[in-house]
Chain A
Amino acid sequence: MVKNQRKLNKYKIQQMIVQFLPLVALVVLFLVFCAVVQTKGYRLDMYLKIVFNEGIVLAVVATGAIFIYSLGSFDISLGAATLFSATMGVLNYNAFENVPLMIVVIGVSGIGCSLLSSILASIFHIPVFVATVAMMSVLSAVSAQIITSRGGALGGISIPSNVLKSLDVPAFKIVTLAVFFLLCLYVFNFTKIGRREKFIGGNPVCAKLTGINYNKHAIIGFCIAGLSVGLGAFLTLVYTPSVTATTASSLGMNILVAIVFGGMPISGGADSKIFSAIIGGFSYILLDNALELIFDSSSGYGITQIISAVFFLLVVYAASMNYRTKTLPR
Chain B
Amino acid sequence: MRLIKYCQGNLKGTSKAMGNKVIFRKCIGTLAIPVIAGLILGVICLVNGKAMIGNRTSFNNFVIYAAIIMITTIALSINLNSGRFDFSLGAMAILSSGVAAKVTYSVLSGGKYSAALMLGLSLAAGILLGLISGLIYIILRLPPIISSLGVTLIYEGILYTMTGGSYIMGEVQNTSMAKVSGSWIPAFIIIVVVLITMIILFDHTKFGYEYNALKSGQKVAVNTGIREIPNALICYAVCGGLMGIVGFLNTVRNANINGGQLGFGSISIMFTAFLPMFIGSYIGRYSNEKFGYLLAAICMSMLNSTFAVFANTVNASMQSIINAVLLVVFLVYLNNEHLLKKGVKQ
* A interface residues (Cβ-Cβ under 8 A, vs B): 120, 124-127, 129-131, 133-135, 137-138, 140-142, 144-145, 148, 249-250, 253-254, 256-257, 260, 266-267, 298-299, 301-306, 308-310, 312-313, 316-317, 320, 324-330
B70 to chain A minimum Cβ distance, whole angstroms, is: 20
Given A126-B331, A299-B165: A329 and B157 within 8 A (CB)? no
Q: Are B264 and A253 in contact (CB under 8 A)?
A: yes
Known: A303-B157, A327-B219. 5 other contacts (CB 8 A): A126-B331, A126-B332, A266-B146, A305-B153, A320-B142
Instruction: Write the chain B residue with the least CB distance to A120.
Output: B328
Q: List 5 A-B contacts (CB under 8 A).
A: A134-B327, A137-B320, A302-B262, A310-B154, A330-B83
Q: Is the CB of A309 within 8 A of B153?
A: yes
Report B337 CB to chain A, min CB distance, Å.
10
Query: Chain A contacts of B162 at CB under 8 A?
Result: 299, 302
Supposing A140-B320, A306-B158, A327-B222 touch, asked if A130 and B153 sit within 8 A by C-beta, the answer is no
| Contact in complex: A138, B324 (CB < 8 Å) | yes
Q: Among B161, B222, B336, point to the contact of A299 (Cβ < 8 A).
A: B161
A141 touches B324 (CB 8 A): yes
Q: Is the interface of B mostly helix, strand, loop or mixed?
A: helix
Q: How distant is the Cα of A260 from the Cα of B102 in the complex, in angstroms?
A: 36
B residues 295-346 near A (Cβ < 8 Å) are 315-321, 323-325, 327-328, 331-332, 335-336
Q: Which of B56-64, B133-141, B240-248 contacts A (4 or more CB under 8 A)?
A: B133-141
Please tell me if the beta carbons of A309 and B324 are within 8 angstroms of each other in the complex.
no
Closest-by-CB residue of A relative to B328 is: A134
Considering only residues 162-189 of chain B, those with a C-beta below 8 Å from chain A are 162, 164-165
Complex CA gap A129/B274 in Å reads 11
Task: Give the contacting residue for B263; candidates A134, A148, A249, A327; CB below 8 A.
Answer: A249
* B150 CB-CB contact with A under 8 Å: yes
Choose from A124, A138, A266, A301 the contact partner of B336 (Cβ within 8 Å). Answer: A124
Contact A328 B165 (CB under 8 A): no
Contacts of B83 in A (CB 8 A): 330
Partner of A256, one of B149, B154, B324: B149
Contacting B321 at CB < 8 Å: which of A126, A142, A257?
A: A142
> Nearest B residue to A297 by beta-carbon distance?
B164
Interface set, chain B 105-151, CB cutoff 8 A to A: 136-138, 140-147, 149-151
B232 within 8 A of A: yes
Q: Does B211 have its Cβ within 8 Å of any Cβ on chain A?
A: no
Task: Give B contacts to A, CB under 8 Å.
Answer: 82-85, 136-138, 140-147, 149-154, 156-162, 164-165, 218-219, 222, 228-229, 232, 262-264, 267, 271, 274, 315-321, 323-325, 327-328, 331-332, 335-336
Q: Which residue of A lies closest to B87 (CB)?
A: A253
CB contacts (< 8 Å) of B161 on chain A: these are 299, 302-303, 306
Q: Decide: A312 and B150 in contact? CB cutoff 8 A.
A: yes
Q: Which residue on chain A has the smallest CB distance to residue B334?
A: A126
Instruction: Please name the residue on chain B nearest to A321 by beta carbon.
Output: B141
Q: Which residues from B are CB-within-8-Å of A317?
A: 140, 142
Tell me if B149 and A306 are in contact (CB < 8 A).
no
**Are A328 and B228 in touch, CB under 8 angstroms?**
yes
CA distance A120 to B228 in the complex (A): 35
Contact at A305–B160, with CB atoms within 8 Å? Answer: yes
Q: Which residues of A contact B262 (CB under 8 A)?
A: 301-302, 305
Contact A329 B321 (CB under 8 A): no
A268 and B318 alpha carbons, distance in the complex (Å): 35
Tell me whether A328 and B317 are in contact in the complex, defined as CB-CB below 8 angstroms, given that A126-B335, A302-B160 are known contacts: no
Residues of B contacting A308 with CB < 8 Å?
A: 153
Which residues of chain B are near A133, meaning CB under 8 Å?
271, 274, 327
Q: CA of A233 to CA of B271 in the docked complex: distance in angstroms? A: 25
Asked if B145 and A309 sit within 8 Å, CB to CB, the answer is no
**Least Cβ distance of A207 to chain B in Å?**
21
Complex Cα gap A148–B321 (Å): 15
Q: Which residues of A contact B324 (CB under 8 A)?
A: 134-135, 137-138, 141
| A202–B150 CA distance with the chains assembled, in angstroms | 25
Known: A125-B335, A305-B157. A257 touches B263 (CB 8 A): no
Give CA–CA (A260, B149) in the complex, Å.
11
**CB–CB A329/B274 < 8 A:** no
Q: Are A313 and B150 in contact (CB under 8 A)?
A: yes
| Chain B: minimal CB distance from A317 (Å) | 5
In the bound assembly, the distance between CA atoms of A313 and B140 in angstroms comes to 8
- CB within 8 A of A306: which of B153, B229, B321? B153
Could you tell me the distance between the alpha carbons of A234 and B153 in the complex, rounded to whole angstroms? 28
User: Chain B's nearest CB lies how many Å from the CB of A54?
Assistant: 13
Q: Please determine whether B157 and A124 come into contact, CB atoms closer than 8 angstroms.
A: no
Q: Pick the contact of A141: B137, B232, B320, B336 (CB < 8 A).
A: B320
A269 to chain B minimum Cβ distance, whole angstroms, is 13
Kindly provide the distance from the CB of A284 to the nearest chain B CB, expressed in whole angstroms: 11
**Contact with A329, one of B143, B271, B335 (Cβ below 8 angstroms):** B143
Q: Which residues of chain B have C-beta atoms less than 8 A from A142's C-beta?
A: 317, 321
A260 touches B228 (CB 8 A): no
Give CA–CA (A328, B228) in the complex, Å.
8
**B165:A126 contact, CB within 8 angstroms:** no
Complex Cα–Cα for A304 and B328 (A):
37
Q: Given A141-B320, A299-B160, A313-B150 in contact, is the A328-B335 Cβ separation under 8 Å?
A: no
Contact A312-B328, Cβ < 8 Å, known A133-B271, A299-B164: no
Q: Once the chains bind, are B274 and A309 in contact (CB under 8 Å)?
A: no
A131 and B328 contact, CB distance less than 8 A: yes
In the A-B complex, the 4 residue pairs with the closest CB atoms = A302-B160, A302-B161, A309-B153, A305-B157
The answer for the CA separation of A328 and B328 in the assembled complex, in Å, is 31
Q: Which residues of A sit under 8 angstroms from B140, Cβ to Cβ? A: 313, 316-317
Do A137 and B271 contact each other (CB < 8 Å), given the known contacts A327-B222, A330-B218? yes
B142 and A329 contacting across the interface, CB-CB below 8 Å: yes
Interfacial chain A residues near B315, Cβ < 8 Å? 145
A250, B150: Cβ atoms under 8 Å? no
* Min CB–CB distance A295 → chain B (angstroms): 9
Nearest A residue to B324 via CB reads A137
Residues of A near B138 (CB, < 8 A) are: 328
When distances are taken between beta carbons in the complex, the residues of chain A under 8 Å from B219 are 327
Determine if A130 and B321 form an interchain contact, defined as CB atoms under 8 angstroms apart.
Answer: no
Q: Which residues of B contact A140 (CB under 8 A)?
A: 320
